[in-house]
Amino acid sequence: MDVLAGIRSPEDLRRLSASEVETLATEIRQFLIEKVSATGGHLGPNLGVVELSIALHRVFDSPREPIIFDTSHQSYVHKILTGRADQFDHLRQQGGLSGYTCRSESEHDWTESSHASAALSYADGLSKAKALSGHHKDNVVAVVGDGALTGGMCWEALNNIAADHDRNVVIVVNDNGRSYAPTIGGFAENLAQLRMQPVYDSVMEHGKNTLNNMGWVGRRTFEALHAFKEGVKSTVLPSEMFPELGMKYVGPVNGHDLVAVEEALTYARDFSGPLIVHVVTEKGRGFRPAEADTDQLMHTTGIIDPITGEPKSAASPGWTEIFTEELLDAAAERNDIVAITAAMAGPTGLLPFKDRFPDRFFDVGIAEQHALTSAAGLALGGMKPVVALYSTFLNRAIDQLIMDVGLLKQPVSIVLDRAGITGSDGASHNGIWDITLTSVVPGIRIAAPRDAQQLREQFRESLAITDGPSIVRYPKGGLPTEQPALNRYEDGVDVLAQEKAPVDTHEAPSVLLVGVGTCAGDFAEIAGDIAAQGVTVTVVDPRWVVPIAPSLLELAQEHDLVVCAEDGLIHGGVGSLLSEAMDAAGIDVPRRCCGFPRVFPQHASRSELMAELELDAPGLRRQVSEWIEELFGQAEDGQ
């Protein structure tokens, strides 16, 4: 990889000849396949933007002219071109390179949220700041996928960008026809029509021929650029999608033709005012298994064989598969069940539902707000909606959950995949906020299954709720060993373990361990070790963590210390809610909470983060033991 070895910054890139740039594109694809197959990561999206990323950095002066990648999982090539190639051995690993743009890594990274449809709003604000600070001629570039453009926030931003023709905002639409799945809706159909227009191809061929005839070897001549601009003017017009906004449009451009992309971006750079460049790319280009991947399993991968694309280790059934099975069984029994997702049918386990019940499946695109309010409408019409999302993406629809679902008391079942700590995808993909945010909705019910059997039971219980919204949340990763209950209270609280102290139990202090989700199994695992300190121990799983069950308050009253553990935020979490309920009931018993602090988690594996926060079994054992010694003076040997 001789050319790639010489790239340390965009300045190095601009010195390359045309043939060297072509070689670089080939070397970058080889590099991505080698590195991402070893660590896991977003392979397909990055293979598709190699030429586009090269052209962006050859044309625009980053970081003076910001390049903002919407979602930014497709920023690996950008990272390579800005001097971070030597860090890819630790991609998405603790202390290593982030899988998204990251402000602490490079001055070329302006944002770091991985939620879609935000780039145009960032660009709108940055371009306003440029104008206000006297740099109105600088460009601000937003690279947004066709999938992200299904999100309403993009159109709110476009409405503002188009209103001011004095700001230089270049909107590059990276059109590969997919997000996680094929892009859906009227927008996608319109974009597909534009994609088929031949006019720009002929213009680009004219431009290339002109350049080739002049012996172009990497530097533009005035005459060639003038010829290109004269030809392209015929296609700079308001597109079919933006007639009311009046946005100027260039395209479609073959996103894998380096000359075509670079010349289109050069025109956009020199154009005065906002402009859209429509670039057509192929997701997974250059890696046959990814090119042939119709289910988009290579949108993001685990560790794979760099030749065949096959996973290095077989995946065992996980939480998502259990949900899929139970949803299919329930839908076969009830024809009022409908399933809704926001461009995440595959990752949330809804593809089998789509195949079996196509008329009852709705993918609304990257539009979580719409998903929730549409679900409320379906419920008003007599249906039983099941909305399947990643926990982190529900954050975007809290207003709709409160006002459009909760206020109307509609029985919408929300299933949150990747709840709690998720790990390698970093801060904005962790699902640590959902309980804190959603528990404020009057009348909501929230379930946190501890194992596969409880997921089945609690999802069915959610479907039976008729007087308001409910949430069933489960984590990323493999399923834990099933933990049977010793007994269950009438309000659904499970007792998982009861351990007596090795001393007179009438004299020994008593500890109630309240485990949320998988933390319940961890508490059951360490109950005997805790009891060995000279205390009696009761371990319970509330199952439905919101609202607080009456039996949980009764148990709290009967113990000398209450400890709650959860893999969400401590602030406003289950432990906080339990403490508030105890205060309201006049229960004056010491209580402690184990959970996530109010910080943004860095990327690492789920197990590494759980250990770092002492939310795994050893960490919980240490914390509880310390509190017991602090409150009761019990020694390790129980004396």
Of 526 and 598, the one with more pLDDT: 526
Kindly state the DSSP code that residue 318 receives in the 8-state scheme: B
Please, what's the b/e burial string for 223-232 (b: 16 or more CB within 10 A of its CB; e: otherwise)?
ebbebbbebb
Whether the predicted pLDDT of 635 surpasses 50:
no
Long-range contacts, 201-205 (Cβ 8 Å, 24+):
201/254, 203/228, 203/231, 203/232, 203/234, 203/235, 204/253, 204/254, 204/257, 204/259, 204/260, 204/263, 204/264
CA distance 527 to 531: 6
How many Cβ atoms are within 10 Å of 63's Cβ, its own excluded? 14
- Categorize the per-residue pLDDT at 541 as very low, low, confident or very high, splitting at 50, 70 and 90: very high
- Which range (92-96, 140-144, 396-400, 516-520) has the least confidence? 92-96
Instruction: Retrieve residue 564's tokens.
Output: 């709650």
pLDDT value, residue 293: 66
3-state SS track over 284-317: CCCCHHHHCCCCCCCCCECCECCCCCCECCCCCC
Q: Which residues share a beta bridge with 431?
A: 420
Is residue 181 within 8 Å of residue 145, measured between CB atoms? no
Whether the predicted pLDDT of 102 surpasses 50:
yes
Compute the average pLDDT of residues 325-346.
96
- Ordered by start, the domain boundaries in the chain are 2-291, 319-473, 491-632
Amino acid symbol at 531: A
How many Cβ atoms are within 10 Å of 215's Cβ, its own excluded? 7
| C-alpha closest to that of 45 among 100, 105, 118 | 100
Tell whether residue 231 is among the known ligand binding residues. no
How crowded is the C-beta side of 503, counted as CA atoms within 13 Å? 16
Architecture field, domain 319-473? 3-Layer(aba) Sandwich (3.40)
How far is Cα of residue 382 from the mean position of the Cα atoms in its chain?
31
Of 246 and 235, the one with more pLDDT: 246
Q: Which residue has the tokens 């890819």?
A: 88
Whether the predicted pLDDT of 444 surpasses 90:
yes
In order, the DSSP letters of 152-164 are HHHHHHHHHHTT-
pLDDT value, residue 165: 82
Tell whether residue 116 is among the known ligand binding residues. yes
CA distance 237 to 249: 5
Percent of the chain's residues with pLDDT above 70: 86
- Categorize the per-residue pLDDT at 220 as very low, low, confident or very high, splitting at 50, 70 and 90: very low
| C-alpha closest to that of 307 among 325, 327, 288, 326 | 288
Percent of the chain's residues with pLDDT above 90: 59
**What end-to-end distance do the CA atoms of the chain give, in Å?**
67
- Which range (113-122, 233-242, 433-442, 589-598) has the least confidence? 233-242
Mean pLDDT score of the chain: 85
Is residue 517 within 8 Å of residue 567, measured between CB atoms? yes
Of 493 and 101, the one with more pLDDT: 493
CATH topology identical between 2-291 and 491-632: yes
Tell whether residue 78 is among the known ligand binding residues. no
Tell whether residue 175 is among the known ligand binding residues. no
Instruction: Retrieve residue 23's tokens.
Output: 């070689």
- Fold adopted by 491-632: Rossmann fold (3.40.50)
3-state SS track over 53-113: HHHHHHHCCCCCCCEEECCCCCCHHHHHHHHHHHHHHHCCCCCCCCCCCCCCCCCCCCCCC
pLDDT value, residue 291: 75
Compute the average pLDDT of residues 626-634.
87
Compute the average pLDDT of residues 86-100.
85
Whether the predicted pLDDT of 249 surpasses 90:
no
pLDDT value, residue 150: 81
CA distance 51 to 18: 12
Tell whether residue 174 is among the known ligand binding residues. no
Tell whether residue 313 is among the known ligand binding residues. no
Compute the average pLDDT of residues 456-485.
95
- Categorize the per-residue pLDDT at 211 as very low, low, confident or very high, splitting at 50, 70 and 90: very low
Whether the predicted pLDDT of 221 surpasses 60:
no
pLDDT value, residue 519: 95
Burial of 437 (0-12, 13-18, 19+ CB in 10 A): middle
Q: Which residues share a beta bridge with 494?
A: 488, 541
Compute the average pLDDT of residues 497-524.
90
pLDDT value, residue 503: 74
Instruction: Retrieve residue 37's tokens.
Output: 């197959």
- Categorize the per-residue pLDDT at 576 as very low, low, confident or very high, splitting at 50, 70 and 90: very high
Whether the predicted pLDDT of 203 surpasses 60:
no
Cα diameter, the chain: 97
Whether the predicted pLDDT of 405 surpasses 70:
yes
pTM score of the predicted model: 0.83
Instruction: Retrieve residue 544's tokens.
Output: 């439905």
Tell whether residue 146 is among the known ligand binding residues. yes
Tell whether residue 162 is among the known ligand binding residues. no
- Categorize the per-residue pLDDT at 517 as very low, low, confident or very high, splitting at 50, 70 and 90: very high
2-291: in CATH 3.40.50.970: yes
- Which range (235-239, 243-247, 275-279) has the least confidence? 235-239
Q: Is 218 left (phi over 0), alpha (psi -120 to 50) or beta?
A: left
Tell whether residue 287 is among the known ligand binding residues. yes
Cβ-Cβ contacts under 8 Å for 387 (sequence gap 6 or more): 340, 341, 371, 372, 375, 412, 413, 414, 415
pLDDT value, residue 613: 87
Whether the predicted pLDDT of 491 surpasses 90:
yes
Instruction: Retrieve residue 98's tokens.
Output: 């982030």
Tell whether residue 124 is among the known ligand binding residues. no
CA distance 227 to 231: 6
- Categorize the per-residue pLDDT at 234 as very low, low, confident or very high, splitting at 50, 70 and 90: very low
Burial of 584 (0-12, 13-18, 19+ CB in 10 A): exposed
Cβ-Cβ contacts under 8 Å for 626 (sequence gap 6 or more): none
Q: Which residues share a beta bridge with 541?
A: 494
Handedness of CA 207, 208, 209, 214 (dihedral sign): positive
The 10s digit of each residue's pLDDT in 52-68 is 999 999 999 999 999 99
Helices marked H in 347-421 — which ranges? 351-356, 368-380, 391-394, 398-400
Whether the predicted pLDDT of 324 surpasses 90:
yes
Distances (CA, A) of 627 to 11, 403, 452, 539, 597: 57, 41, 32, 16, 18
Q: What are phi and psi of 544, to 5 degrees?
A: -90, 105
pLDDT value, residue 240: 54
Whether the predicted pLDDT of 148 surpasses 90:
no
Positions marked catalytic: 283, 368, 396
